Amino acid sequence: MLRYTLRRILYALPIMLGVSLVCFLLVHIAPGDPLVSVLPPDATEALRRQMAELYGFDRPLPEQFLRWLARALGGDLGTSIATARPVASEVFRAVGNTVTLAAFATAIGFTLGAIFGFVAGYFRDSPVDRAASALAVLGVSVPHYWLGMVLVILFSAQLGWLPATGAGPGGSTEWAWDWEHFRHLILPAVTMSVIPMGIVARTLRALVAEILSQEFVMGLRARGLSEFAVFRHVVKNAAPTALAVMGLQLGYLLGGSILIETVFSWPGTGFLLNAAIFQRDLPLLQGTILVLATFFVVLNLVVDVVQTALDPRIRRA
């Protein structure tokens, strides 16, 4: 198991290298001069060249990449062109906010999704199953930015119960564990939880129904195990697949949703990416994408390792 984990980590390294290369190149392939947005329209050619030199844009691409990579490894992602602040601190603050949002959204989504999925799978073709399945389909199909707006209209504009935008009172961009901040979190978290809820519920329903139809379940009953013990076996059989699906969903949520964060002005990575794209802030864009991509690689790694620990058939294969 330890050897497998180490090997998986080793495999992740070339993937990371490739990811960083793609991050770097994609941004450079995109049209537009990043300096246009910071320089005054009447800037002299000399000033433009001076700025380009300062940011290193005048050097050949491979050299730019290697320098960027070397600094990134040391935790320095460069300086934002638009705000002149270090990219790393901008990204990490945004990541913190996105993680907070994603954590609450997954807590809601996975809990409800798991409950709906298990109930629907266990009582297949019953009214309970139909209700849970309908809710799951709705969750997957409803566009979440639309749902977000509807929730804002209902709970903020009409009822006035919850704030419509922002991460805290007075435009606060730092998360704090207090009621005011929590109130700001509810609407975006609920909106964000709907998709993983639907996907987890649908996957689990199919999974549980499939496991229940297997002969070993009759075997378990034939041994006189209680329904609760049978349920435990079903859970353990469902766990590897369920975790893989949940891991991927968590990855999507941690990546931040540009749409949801924009609708709710939530200062997370999605919001940051959106701003970086519009301002052609190359270092910020590269840094954000790199951090998000790293997230996915690490998350896949964790899911793989956990899944292997749970399912003996993968381990020895």
Q: Which of 17, 144, 221, 281 binds other proteins (CB under 8 A)?
A: 221
- Measure CA 59 to chain center: 34
Q: How far is the CB of 216 from other proteins (least distance, A)?
A: 5
Helix (H/G/I), strand (E/B), else coil: 44 = coil
Q: Evaluate the CA torsion angle 96, 254, 279, 80 in order and state its sign.
A: positive
Tokens, residue 233: 């076996």
CA–CA gap between residue 259 and residue 270 (Å, rounded): 8
Question: With contact defined as beta carbons under 8 Å apart, do 131 and 139 qualify?
Answer: no
Tell me the per-residue interface mask from 69 to 98 with other proteins, x by CB under 8 A, - otherwise: ------------------------------
Q: Which range touches other proteins (CB under 8 A), out of 65-73, 106-114, 182-190, 228-236?
A: 228-236
- How many other C-beta atoms can be found within 10 angstroms of the C-beta atom of residue 251? 19
CA–CA gap between residue 301 and residue 299 (Å, rounded): 5
Helix (H/G/I), strand (E/B), else coil: 240 = helix
Q: How far is the CB of 201 from other proteins (least distance, A)?
A: 22
Q: Which of 70, 171, 214, 278 binds other proteins (CB under 8 A)?
A: 214
Q: Which range touches other proteins (CB under 8 A), out of 75-83, 152-160, 230-238, 262-270?
A: 230-238
Distances (CA, A) of 140 to 143, 173, 191, 194, 200: 8, 30, 12, 7, 10
Q: Which of 143, 169, 171, 312 binds other proteins (CB under 8 A)?
A: 312
Q: Which of 33, 54, 219, 278 binds other proteins (CB under 8 A)?
A: 219
Residue 150 sits in the site that holds other proteins (CB under 8 A):
no
Residue 316 sits in the site that holds other proteins (CB under 8 A):
yes
Q: Which of 220, 243, 254, 260 binds other proteins (CB under 8 A)?
A: 220
Residues at the site binding other proteins, with contacts judged by CB under 8 A: 214-216, 218-226, 229, 233, 236-237, 310-313, 316
